[in-house]
Amino acid sequence: MKSLFKSLVLVMLVLAASAPVFAVSESAVLFLLISPGARASGMGEAFVGLADDATAVFWNPAGLAFQTGRELTLMHANWLPQFGTDLFYEFAAYRHHVEGVGTFGANITYLNLGKQYQTLDTPDPVGEFTSYEFGISATYGTLLSENWGVGLGLRFIRSALSPMGAGSEVGDGKADAFAFDASTLYRFPFAPKLSLGINLSNMGPKITYIDASQADPLPTNLKLGFAYKLVNNKYNKLTFVADMNKLMV
């Protein structure tokens, strides 16, 4: 079992290392990298090695494997309020455990980019529209052993930036894409307070707004981290966590 775990970790790292590298500015739908959850944000966004609540659908779907019962989490945030009152971010996640099968999760991420104005040769607007992006995900986590969980996620992405192209471009600023996540979470038998998590997220084909030659890569991201529960009793909890993130595009 240890050999299988090491092999899985090695395969995920090789996939990450062999992925094509682009400039950050070349990737699209960066809203997929916005970190949800007040708890995880308060922990410095280091949560992949812990992932013990419904936000595991984002941080590490393998964390669902160790969770039972049902949980719903909701989040609303005014996004960059200094630039406008109509920018906001929404996140909703739900998990449901099925005995003998595993734990299923679903989440919706929505970013409203506000009202935009169309202009021609003059600064006066000739039309207006609203820009937004959203992703709908289904995730699944299951235990391969008492200490080892794996997780998978499938995501539909919709980006609606503009109903028209820029200048003479054929097409518009709307595009759809699919992506998937693969993750693992391992709790060491010789150190039950220590866990290691890995999540390779947003893998998939490029997203196309105008044509294939102008397609943009998805923000594929590798998260690796661990958590160590220094104190874990009825009245006090103290956990040390550390994460490493590598944006592959």
Question: Within 10 A of 108 (CB to CB), how many other CB atoms are there?
Answer: 13
Q: Which amino acid is at 221?
A: N
Question: Which range has the worst mean pLDDT, 24-33, 74-83, 151-160?
Answer: 24-33
- Among residues 110, 182, 92, 98, the alpha carbon closest in space to that of 139 is found at 182
SS3 per residue for 82-110: HHCCCCEEEEEEEEEEECCCEEEEEEEEE
Question: What's the predicted TM-score (pTM) here?
Answer: 0.84
- pLDDT per position as a tens digit, 90-110: 999 999 999 999 999 999 999
Residue 225: band (very low, low, confident or very high) from pLDDT cuts 50, 70, 90: very high
For the residues 228-238, what does the mean pLDDT come to? Answer: 89
- Joined together, the tokens standing for residue 116 give 């935009």
For the residues 76-82, what does the mean pLDDT come to? Answer: 87
For the residues 70-97, what does the mean pLDDT come to? Answer: 91
Handedness of CA 93, 98, 101, 102 (dihedral sign): positive
- The confidence score (pLDDT) of residue 16 equals 46
* Alpha helices, DSSP H, located in the chain: 2-18, 38-42, 56-59
Cα angle 239-183-222, degrees, rounded to a multiple of 5: 85
The one-character DSSP state at 32 is G
**Of residues 227 and 129, which shows the higher confidence score?**
227
For the residues 167-187, what does the mean pLDDT come to? Answer: 86
Distance from C-alpha of 167 to C-alpha of 176, rounded to nearest angstrom = 22
> Any bridge partners for residue 76, and if so which?
90
